[in-house]
């Protein structure tokens, strides 16, 4: 599939804006999860601004594609993408993590109905996405379901039960994305719980596996389009990413999993993201 240079450039610019929003949101809230938000940003951008069929002005549109943020802690990038494509005003991003805000530290469908599933307890999102994919099939709706999963989250046994059932039910309308940034809350995955080799494991579970550079927009788009063409198997995109991507002092640093920069650090981060 040929994707124009113009489209790639436009998406890269949007991703840069989303990364800036992430920094502003966590700085203002003085808490949050910048590391995993910055690693997943390029995939979320591709989905919300190019790949998914959805109508931000009509979030309950029956034929919409669904997005489940299984790694609910890194919802900053999701909130920014949703605001920037028109689900709610971008000014609402300033309320992130405040009492009574709709933008809580983990996505809450009760507060924000255009969120497809409340998440944050790791391990559950893929099961929810499978329920949605089965429901769509039963209802004869040809929409797709996307589910973003953390690589540390793969330590949860429920993910593997879900992986088994998605293949069993031949859910080709389901696409999981692994944000394979190598880190979890307190260290490197390979030291805490080594889940390698991920491609072989998912293949053995009956999935179509695509491996990409999760920061290369044309590879990301190519992978989503490849997944759409797959028949009778769910697809997993294993995206090699970097925690904290785009902000040098955060990149590959476990301490930026769940803390906010100071105002001074935020100035440096934003300057860097302004390019
Ligand atoms: C069931 C459960 N256990 C523990 C936590 C606490 N927790 C929040 S984020 C996180 C690490 C997740 O790592 P990963 O999935 O790799 O996410 P990322 O690196 O993308 O931030 C943990 C253990 C949780 N949210 N849910
Ligand atoms: Mg991780």
What's the farthest any 2 CA atoms get from each other in the chain?
A: 53
pLDDT at 108 over 90: yes
Average pLDDT over residues 169-195: 98
Q: What is the pLDDT of residues 209-229, one digit of tens each?
A: 999 999 999 999 999 999 999
For residue 258, pLDDT beyond 90: yes
Cβ–ligand 1 contact at 47 (below 6 Å):
no
> Looking at residue 47, what is its pLDDT?
98
The whole-chain average pLDDT of the chain stands at: 98
From atom 16 of ligand 1, which residue's Cα is the shortest distance away?
Answer: 152
**Considering only CA atoms, which residue is closest to atom 17 of ligand 1?**
150
pLDDT above 90 as % of the chain:
98
Residue 178 CA, ligand 1 centroid: distance in Å: 13
Which CATH number applies to 5-273: 3.40.50.970, 3.40.50.1000, 3.40.50.1220, 3.40.630.30? 3.40.50.970
Residue 1 has pLDDT above 80, yes or no: no
122 CA from centroid of ligand 1 (Å): 6
List, for residues 39-87, the tens digit of each pLDDT value. 999 999 999 999 999 999 999 999 999 999 999 999 999 999 999 999 9
Domain ranges of the chain: 5-273
Cis peptide before 273 (omega within 30 of 0): no
Q: Which of 155, 154, 103, 161 is nearest to 128 (CA)?
A: 161
Please give the distance, rounded to the nearest whole angstrom, from the Cα atom of residue 198 to the centre of ligand 1.
Answer: 18
Q: Which ligand is nearest to the CA of 37?
A: 1
Name the β-bridge partners of 240. Answer: 180, 213
Whether 187 lines ligand 1, by a CB cut-off of 6 Å, is no
Question: Are 178 and 125 a contacting pair, CB within 8 Å?
Answer: no
Look at phi and psi of residue 214 and say left if phi exceeds 0, alpha if psi is from -120 to 50, else beta.
alpha
Between the CA of 155 and the centroid of ligand 1 the distance, in Å, is 9
Q: Which residues of 195-228 are buried (b: 16+ CB within 10 A; e: fewer)?
A: beebeebbeebebbbbbbebbbbbbbbebbebbe
């Amino acid at each position: 599939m040929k994707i124009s240079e113009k489209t790639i450039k436009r998406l890269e610019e949007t991703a840069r804006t989303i990364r800036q929003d992430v920094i502003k949101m966590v700085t203002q809230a003085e808490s949050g999860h910048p590391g995993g938000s910055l690693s997943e940003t390029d995939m979320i951008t591709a989905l919300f601004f190019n790949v998914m069929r959805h109508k931000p002005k009509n979030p309950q549109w029956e034929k919409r594609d669904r997005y489940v943020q299984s790694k609910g802690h890194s919802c900053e990038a999701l909130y920014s993408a949703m605001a920037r494509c028109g689900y709610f005003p971008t000014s609402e991003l300033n309320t992130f993590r405040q009492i009574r805000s709709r933008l809580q530290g983990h996505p809450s469908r009760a507060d924000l109905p255009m969120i497809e599933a409340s998440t944050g307890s790791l391990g559950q999102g893929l099961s929810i996405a499978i329920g949605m994919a089965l429901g769509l099939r039963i209802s004869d709706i040809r929409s797709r379901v996307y589910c973003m999963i953390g690589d540390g989250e793969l330590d949860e046994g429920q993910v593997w039960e879900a992986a088994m059932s998605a293949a069993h039910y031949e859910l080709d309308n389901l696409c999981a994305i692994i944000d394979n940034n190598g880190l979890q809350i307190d260290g490197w995955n390979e030291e805490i719980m080594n889940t390698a080799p991920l491609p072989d494991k998912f293949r053995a579970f009956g999935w179509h596996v695509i491996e990409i550079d999760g920061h290369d927009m044309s590879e990301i788009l190519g992978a989503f389009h490849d997944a759409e063409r797959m028949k009778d198997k769910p697809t997993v995109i294993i995206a090699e990413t970097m925690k904290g991507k785009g902000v040098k002092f955060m990149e590959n640093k476990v301490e930026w999993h769940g803390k906010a920069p100071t105002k001074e650090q935020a100035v440096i981060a934003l300057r860097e993201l302004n390019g």
